[in-house]
């Protein structure tokens, strides 16, 4: 009998066949997985296409030998150019970059923040989201006519449009990308859109340096023009008039009257004046005794101007509750230009352009603010010690001024007009003491207050510091170009 076993040979052949079939199936699965991975990975496809292109372009060139000076670690740290291009396709591929353009707009009278954005082409939903993001830093209600804004719009790239569902109609149109503006000279506000379509607001504040400067000279044509020519600003002169207005009849100011004003101003890193601050010291030597006042803040936060002995510059009432006006008709008997007959004139008329602000002559309670016969639009205020003041022929009333309202001295209550029996825009101003009309220009009014003994010691120290500050303060105006910059900044940025 032969030693060859047929059944044993068949079993061996079966096991070998199963082994090779299993190995072949595993190889096929592995190859299939690699192929599908290459097709689904855009980076590898981009790399393969680039390598195929490079092979085609350099088929006639000899293969380059790797530089032996390059270490394996350096090779790992330097990714292939194709991988870098794929990783940063947003910055290198114009099909993935949105096109951005800016639009400069100026707010017109009657426009709201939403209407400004809508008129410029912004979607209403995007406009609402941008305004809502800005609200913690700047309320939309604060927007005023004349404000300049820069709006940014973007057109989504073709790549982004292809990746967006067709149910979103704004995906292929221009949309709001952000905005920026300067609400004042010290702040810049920006709103920008992120990749998820959400808006975020940011505030940038300028770093300002405080300076103390001095304007000293003599009146030439007027106190206002003389102070401006020496480096003061409209705001500084306005505050100066408020301080002196209790004791000075500006009709008596003459050429040659000396004045001296020390005030704050704030400059940016380029040395440009952004805004002016408080008046610290004032001297005016007109008719009568020279007037000298120092700014002093009390412990309770009340701020006032006092003489060197601690007597307040403030009086119960202001002589002139309006700035930049001339007296067109004085108190007393006069020929009435409308009635064409002589009759008493129980007030003083100040001629001024329509819309000029009118201030409360003193602190008190508004008794009426409405239409009142031949006086037209009319305001009457009750003050302490039996005094009342009245303001007539007004164009309109300031916001919040109505019967029962408490007002502070110097607060704007109305605006010059020509309502009622009037021949032109002017303010008719009356003062009544215990019901009797009194000439406001000849009143000898009591001061607002005098510092007590326990306050004088601190005031004297502040007074001496201000005198030293005055003596060391440089002139406000160095050259003509500096004055132009100061005026521009003060008019644009002061509140």
pLDDT tens-place string over residues 313-322:
888 888 788 8
Does the pLDDT at position 486 exceed 50? no
- Range with the poorest average pLDDT among 115-129, 340-354, 420-434, 451-465: 340-354
Residues 248 and 276 in one domain: yes
Which residues in 87-225 belong to E strands, given as ranges? 99-106, 148-155, 175-184, 187-193, 199-205, 209-218
- Range with the poorest average pLDDT among 48-57, 65-74, 190-199, 411-420: 65-74
Give percent of the chain with pLDDT exceeding 70: 72
User: What is the model's pLDDT at position 23?
Assistant: 72
The domain in which residue 412 lies consists of 326-442
User: What is the model's pLDDT at position 437?
Assistant: 87
Residues 153 and 179 in one domain: yes
Could you tell me how far CA 170 lies from the centroid of its own chain? 32
Residues 109 and 152 in one domain: yes
Query: Measured between alpha carbons, how far is 67 from 63 in angstroms, rounded to an integer?
Result: 12
Averaged over 130-143, what is the pLDDT?
93
Q: What is the mean pLDDT of the chain?
A: 78
447 band by pLDDT with thresholds 50, 70 and 90: low
Looking up residue 179, the CATH number of its domain turns out to be: 3.10.450.350
User: What is the model's pLDDT at position 252?
Assistant: 75
Averaged over 213-231, what is the pLDDT?
89
DSSP state of 372: -
SS3 128: helix
Residues 304 and 349 in one domain: no
Kindly state whether residue 37 falls inside one of the protein's structural domains.
no
Kindly state whether residue 409 falls inside one of the protein's structural domains.
yes
118 band by pLDDT with thresholds 50, 70 and 90: very high
Q: Cα 204–205–207 angle (5° rounding)?
A: 135
Looking up residue 406, the CATH number of its domain turns out to be: 2.70.70.10
Kindly state whether residue 34 falls inside one of the protein's structural domains.
no
- Range with the poorest average pLDDT among 21-35, 193-207, 280-294: 21-35
What does pTM read for this prediction?
Answer: 0.54
Segment 275-289, tens digit of pLDDT: 889 999 999 987 667
Kindly state whether residue 75 falls inside one of the protein's structural domains.
no
60 band by pLDDT with thresholds 50, 70 and 90: very low
CA distances, 210 to each of 269, 277, 297 (Å): 11, 9, 19
Query: Measured between alpha carbons, how far is 458 from 123 in angstroms, rounded to an integer?
Result: 60
Residues 193 and 222 in one domain: no
Residues 217 and 121 in one domain: no
Kindly state whether residue 53 falls inside one of the protein's structural domains.
no
pLDDT: which is higher, 179 or 61: 179
Give me the number of domains the chain comprises: 3
Residues 157 and 183 in one domain: yes
pLDDT: which is higher, 291 or 489: 291
């Amino acid at each position: 009998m032969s030693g060859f076993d047929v059944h044993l040979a068949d079993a061996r052949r079966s096991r070998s066949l199963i082994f090779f079939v299993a190995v072949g199936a595993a190889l096929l699965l592995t190859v299939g997985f690699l192929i599908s991975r290459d097709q689904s990975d855009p980076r590898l496809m981009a790399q393969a296409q680039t390598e195929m292109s490079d092979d085609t372009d350099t088929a006639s060139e000899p293969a380059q030998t790797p530089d032996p000076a390059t270490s394996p670690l350096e090779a790992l740290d330097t990714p292939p150019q194709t991988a870098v291009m794929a990783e940063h396709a947003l910055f290198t591929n114009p099909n993935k970059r949105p096109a951005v353009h800016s639009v400069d707009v100026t707010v017109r009278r009657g426009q709201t923040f939403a209407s400004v954005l809508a008129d410029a082409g912004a979607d209403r939903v995007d406009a609402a989201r941008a305004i809502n993001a800005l609200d913690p830093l700047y309320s939309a209600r604060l927007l005023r006519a004349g404000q300049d804004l820069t709006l940014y719009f973007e057109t989504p790239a073709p790549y982004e449009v292809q990746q967006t569902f067709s149910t979103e109609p704004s995906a292929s149109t221009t949309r709001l990308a952000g905005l920026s503006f300067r609400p004042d000279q010290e702040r810049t506000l920006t709103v920008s859109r992120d990749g998820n379509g959400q808006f975020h607001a940011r505030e940038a504040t300028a770093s300002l340096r405080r300076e103390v400067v001095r304007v000293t000279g003599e009146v030439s044509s007027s106190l206002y023009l003389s102070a401006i020519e020496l480096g003061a600003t409209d705001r500084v002169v306005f505050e100066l008039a408020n301080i002196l207005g209790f004791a000075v009849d500006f009709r008596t100011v003459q050429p040659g009257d000396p004045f001296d004003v020390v005030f704050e101003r704030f400059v940016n890193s380029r040395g440009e004046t952004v805004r002016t601050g408080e008046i610290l010291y004032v001297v005016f030597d007109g008719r009568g005794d020279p007037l000298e006042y120092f700014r002093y803040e009390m412990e309770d936060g009340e701020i006032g101007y006092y003489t060197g002995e601690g007597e307040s510059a403030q009086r119960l009432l202001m002589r002139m509750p309006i700035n930049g006006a001339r007296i067109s008709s004085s108190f007393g008997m006069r020929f009435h230009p409308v009635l064409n007959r002589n009759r008493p004139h129980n007030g003083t008329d100040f001629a001024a352009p329509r819309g000029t602000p009118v201030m409360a002559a003193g602190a008190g309670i508004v008794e009426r603010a409405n239409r009142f016969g031949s006086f037209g639009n009319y305001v009457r205020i009750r003050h302490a010690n039996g005094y009342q003041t009245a303001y007539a022929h007004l164009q309109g009333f300031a916001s919040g001024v109505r019967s029962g309202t408490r007002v502070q001295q110097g607060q704007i209550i109305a605006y010059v007009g020509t309502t009622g029996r009037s021949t032109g825009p002017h303010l008719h101003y009356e003062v009544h003491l215990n019901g009797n009309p009194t000439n406001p220009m000849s009143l000898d009014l009591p001061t607002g207050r005098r510092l007590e003994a326990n306050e004088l010691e601190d005031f004297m120290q502040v007074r001496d510091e201000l005198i030293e500050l005055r003596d060391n303060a440089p002139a406000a105006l160095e050259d003509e170009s500096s004055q132009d910059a100061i005026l521009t900044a003060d008019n644009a940025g002061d509140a």
